[in-house]
Structure 1
Amino acid sequence: MIGIITRNTPQADGQLWELKCAIDEGVPLFLIHGHSDASKRLANLPAPISGRKIFNWTEANIISFLDRL
């Protein structure tokens, strides 16, 4: 699963539920920033993804994730 994390993520109950389900079920999860501008990125991550690394949205990062599946 690829999760796109934006400033709206903390209020996106459906997205948070899907992320939590993926984590609980052990689904491979790759989180990417929804904005390339660091000032528009989420500063505090909500509970389901707190402490997880969020990668830049690049073709190379996505290909690397998919190659590991």
Structure 2
Amino acid sequence: MFIAFAKEDETTRNLFTGQRVHPDTPFEFIDMSVKEPYSSQWKERVRTRIRRSDGVIALISSSTPAATGQLWEIKCAVEEGAPLLGIWIEDGYRTKPSQMGSAPCKTWTWENVSSFIDSL
């Protein structure tokens, strides 16, 4: 699973990916997100990771509109035809990035994440 997130949301991304090891979590995945910005050719490397992933989860927050890297990752997922799900990570923030196209955005619940993963 590739996790697209704004750098400002790294702590939330850590919580999101960390839930996969909780004993009661009804799903599991391997985090393929980019943890360190690539200094060169990062777009090629990210595209390769997205292609190798079964799907992409985009963590959507008020930081997303200014997160050019995250927006490019989302656009890349759409271009590659990767299954894509947006997860709202802030209460009250519900602005879906246009780069997501017709992909859905849902609230952060185990059921929503599990349903997406199970559908892959």
TM-score above 0.5, yes or no: yes
Identity among equivalent pairs (%): 42
Asked if residue 17 in structure 1 is aligned to residue 72 in structure 2, the reply is yes
* Matched residue SS, 1:27: coil
Following TM superposition, the consecutive aligned residue runs of length 4 or more in structure 1 with deviations greater than 2 angstroms are 49-53
User: Which has the higher Rg, Structure 1 or Structure 2?
Assistant: 2
1:51 is displaced (CA, Å) by: 5.5
Pairing of 1:3-42 with structure 2 (within 5 A): 3-35=58-90, 37-38=91-92, 41-42=93-94
TM-score, normalised by the number of residues in structure 1: 0.83
TM-score, normalised by the number of residues in structure 2: 0.50
1:7 is displaced (CA, Å) by: 0.4
1:54 is displaced (CA, Å) by: 1.2
Name which structure has the greater RCO, CA cutoff 8 Å, separation 6+: 1
Measured on the aligned residues, the alpha-carbon RMSD in Å equals: 1.5
Identify unmatched segments of 5+ residues in structure 1. none
**Residue 116 (structure 2) aligns with:** 65
